[in-house]
Structure 1
């Protein structure tokens, strides 16, 4: 899930191909459907992204009562309007009428608090929850930003690796000299670890796929004090796309998407994306790895197209593809996001599917 920021953006206006009274306002690579004539090319407006939860007053002001997602009809979600994908809301809230939006954009101002907008937090099902304890040594994961929001994240022609984004739940595992820690993305963000339990989904995946044994070998290879193995747990009952993996008492599906490690100084390093399959493939304990769909020069249009289609996880193409995760072939920091250079592209089919689940 991406970081929630409500920002001022300069718009590029496009004709809606299927509606005379509508237009498309572009922010980054996102497009939001707007009423025709409200905005001109180059205008400034406020962009509210997907997964934002809006207060009742703002919903009423924008004329969106009963039209948003969620049980309370207050969550922004991608939808199709007259055949065109609309992601996020473009608006000029009354509360910001006196605000210089161009200056706010230059300052990087976030209007979420001003407008009472918060980030949607998915519910945690019982089988994914459990007792937790403080775990300050847990190696962290991060929110991955959408490349459509930050199109300058990668340079054209930069060598990148794109892997399939699996619709499951992120499992954080950390090996330390003092013991093992297992957590979910939500609990891990709070430096909390799940107490070991054979009934817990994450622990079952970690133990069943022999992740601790693999981590011990990686610690020896890298001379690391701590090793973090980050994988996606999936299967029947985890999300709405099971990829052929069973649920219940069966071993859930699991695929590694990242590995980090730190030495005695605490400095954190990541295994380069182009090396990850070989590093894991060289272990006597063979961990499943997320499918690699592309390796080569960064081509925005080609990768946006590759995010669509059918999944390759099950071997049967049983489901639509959630999308891609893109990394540079060699790990680097991004000046665009101020953190690791890593981004995602989410398929339109996934965003607009019916009956989807979004547990974390």
Structure 2
């Protein structure tokens, strides 16, 4: 579970060229900007991640009113800053100071949730099925120790597409279509069902007659300003989940499954053996989209060729968001 606000250590402090009043700090794997002299190496801080919305009634956050109290990626004096660090003193005096302690609820911080476009709404059939994992990747900067634990693991790097996630499943004769958090009843005006019908996935899965879930990204007109300049909606698959075994298929078989399903996989950028160089990963996330070189790609997703588990993440899989994308589009 993502921690929007937590107690963390300052891991690095360094000057910013031509900046007299600010300096760069590192918290977890994140690079931030802070007032000069506010933190020393090894200090505790309250780190608040991007996409957090802070309460308006807390005097410590009043300077963010013009930003509508939302924490976003910014650039100051050429330094990208992702998240914000506050002194421990903003916490109630009774708070126990423990590295990693989540303080999201203590500070009444919420996650920014963009408004759902009307064409993505419909009649919900129920919550997301419990027999399938949700599509949600952790940003590696929040869990940098994962890199140390899995050094040398061969991985594939794919482009993270900017659309809306979809899960389509067949399970013991039942067929379903889901967004990130809900399963939807079949309706002609529901986008998730429209694109499922377009690819004839219900008939294909019924023909295969195996309990599996397809997970991918729907992209196209009306989604995220149609950054890929597509004339119609389509699905790019990034995972196939074996429901009976409760495990994802290995990457080697994904393209084979995509051919059976007659849908494309997300663009593959490169291969990568895990190392603990976060700057390298951020650099790798930058660049333009394979699907439309005129726009910045959202980022990258990294997964091992052979599925494996991590003690903190569960499934070993993580993302790195392109900071230039965040600066331009968020």
2: distance between equivalents of 1:182 and 1:91? 42
Aligned residue among 96, 105, 109 for 1:117:
109
| Structure-2 residue corresponding to 1:27 | 27
1: distance between equivalents of 2:321 and 2:133? 23
| Structure-2 residue corresponding to 1:141 | 134
Segments ≥4 residues shifted beyond 6 Å? none
| Structure-2 residue corresponding to 1:240 | 225
| Structure-2 residue corresponding to 1:190 | none
> Alpha-carbon deviation of 1:61?
1.3
Question: Are 1:333 and 2:309 matched, yes or no?
Answer: yes
> Alpha-carbon deviation of 1:169?
0.4
Aligned residue among 224, 236, 255 for 1:277:
255
Matches within 5 A, 1:6-25: 6-11=5-10, 12-25=12-25
Pick which of 82-91 and 268-277 moved more: 268-277
Count of residue pairs brought into register by the alignment: 323
> Alpha-carbon deviation of 1:98?
5.2
Matches within 5 A, 1:1-360: 3-11=2-10, 12-58=12-58, 60-68=59-67, 73-92=68-87, 93-97=89-93, 99-101=95-97, 104-105=98-99, 108-134=100-126, 136=129, 139-154=132-147, 155-187=150-182, 193-216=183-206, 219-220=208-209, 224=210, 226-246=211-231, 251-263=232-244, 267-281=245-259, 283=260, 285-299=261-275, 300=277, 301-314=279-292, 317-337=293-313, 339-354=314-329, 356=330
Please give the per-residue CA displacement for 1:83-127, whole angstroms capped at 9, x wherever unaligned: 2111111002433445443xx21xx42101111112222211110
1: distance between equivalents of 2:252 and 2:176? 27
2: distance between equivalents of 1:109 and 1:77? 22
Q: 2:135·2:215 contact (CA, 8 Å) conserved in 1?
A: no
Unpaired runs of 5+ in structure 2?
none
> Alpha-carbon deviation of 1:280?
2.2
1: distance between equivalents of 2:174 and 2:17? 58
SS at match of 2:255: helix
Which structure has the highest strand share of the two?
2
The 1:324/1:116 distance shift into structure 2, 3 A limit, reads: same
